[in-house]
Amino acid sequence: MTAVQSSTSRAIPGPDDLTPRSLVSVRPAVSSRRLLDDLVPPPHFDDARFSTYRANPEHPSQARVLSRLEEVAAEIVAPAPSGLRALLGRRRPAPAVYMDGGFGVGKTHLLTSLAHAVTEASGEGSAAYGTFVEYTNLVGALGFLPTVDALAGRQLVCIDEFELDDPGDTVLMSRLLRELADRGVALAATSNTLPDALGEGRFAAEDFLREIQALAERFEVLRVDGEDYRHRAVVTDAEPLPLESVRAAVEARPRAALDDFADLLAHLSTVHPSRYGALLDDVEMVALTGVRPVTRQEVALRLVVLIDRLYDRDVPVLLADVDAAAQRALFTDEMLRGGYRKKYFRALSRLGSLAQEGRRLATD
């Protein structure tokens, strides 16, 4: 397949051009090659290693999971048996682990640490890392069998934020993981339990094992307890910034983007979610004005994907002219109780963190 180079229609402002760039002006084109190349831990977790994970002594499960994943990494990179031993011995199934727990307890840090450990031991391209949505988008771009072939050469495939709320995509991912496991690829996944869910942890693990069906016996469930270190339930606990301050912060940074919230949401409907990462190429800050509650589910789900890509890339967000209702709740109560609630709570937690960082940069 011939790779099409990634491109955008963005005009980069020159030194005399004071018009801030806008995400709405970007029309990204992403090759299938880039979709594969982007299956690496995001920049936000460049420094994540087992040695930098700080297990909370109040939650012993964190230390237990850390120790187990270090063992899993060693299993994955261990040399395969050779000679007579290989002929006589039974092939040991590749490890498959699933981390279950609430928001902000360090599961992604642990998952990226596992990916980094395998890569550092076995070389670039030995581990694939992506979110559930990125893998389903990859299948949509390449087709199922080419995706299996492309990933089968990896020692490890990591799936962050495994979704249990879309039956079609979950069956697709279950089939993909089964094909990879049959080819000897190690698997690692995370998912979230709602912070206020009855029987937190137990139901998420049971749901995951049920949905992956034939693979359930291969997965080892690792429970990660703890509290959300971001502690965010709304867009941000801080007051929104004055519009003048936001404009000044954007104009001081040539790689910052300024957009009206409604315009950006409309633009996202014209861009495939697999290209949202490319939408942020060369962007170091995103400023949004006119933030209002999101009331349509399809619009909210696109916003969730964008927030994930912003968080992955550590792009701070500036918020100005925020509607009072949005300050209290960006998503409706119905959304936060519905089937996609895990995505919305994750997005709120991440956006709150990015908005706090944006405010800090703008007011320093």
Domains of the chain: 35-223 (3.40.50.300), 231-363 (3.40.50)
The SS3 assignment for 360 reads: helix
Query: For a pLDDT cut of 70, what percent of the chain falls above it?
Result: 82
Q: Average of pLDDT values for 11-17? A: 42
Q: Average of pLDDT values for 253-279? A: 94
Tell me what pLDDT residue 32 has: 84
- Does pLDDT of 153 surpass 80? yes
More confidently predicted of 139 and 327: 139
DSSP string, 166-220: -HHHHHHHHHHHHHHHHTT-EEEEEEE--TT-TTTTHHHHHHHHHHTGGGGGGPE
Residues 6+ positions from 353 with CB-CB distance below 8 Å: 230, 232, 311
- Does pLDDT of 237 surpass 70? no
Are 332 and 338 a contacting pair, CB within 8 Å?
A: no
Tens-place pLDDT, residues 275-314: 899 999 999 999 999 999 999 999 999 999 999 999 999 9
Tell me what pLDDT residue 71 has: 98
Q: Average of pLDDT values for 135-145? A: 90
Q: Average of pLDDT values for 107-125? A: 96
Q: Is 353 exposed, middle or buried (0-12, 13-18, 19+ CB in 10 A)?
A: buried
Tell me what pLDDT residue 167 has: 74
Q: Average of pLDDT values for 178-199? A: 78
pLDDT band at 229 (very low <50, low <70, confident <90, very high): low
Q: Average of pLDDT values for 187-201? A: 64
pLDDT band at 233 (very low <50, low <70, confident <90, very high): very low
Q: Average of pLDDT values for 1-18? A: 40
Give the integer Cα–Cα distance in Å for 159 and 30.
21
pTM: 0.79
* Mean per-residue pLDDT of the chain: 84
DSSP string, 66-82: HHHHHHHHHHHHSPPP-
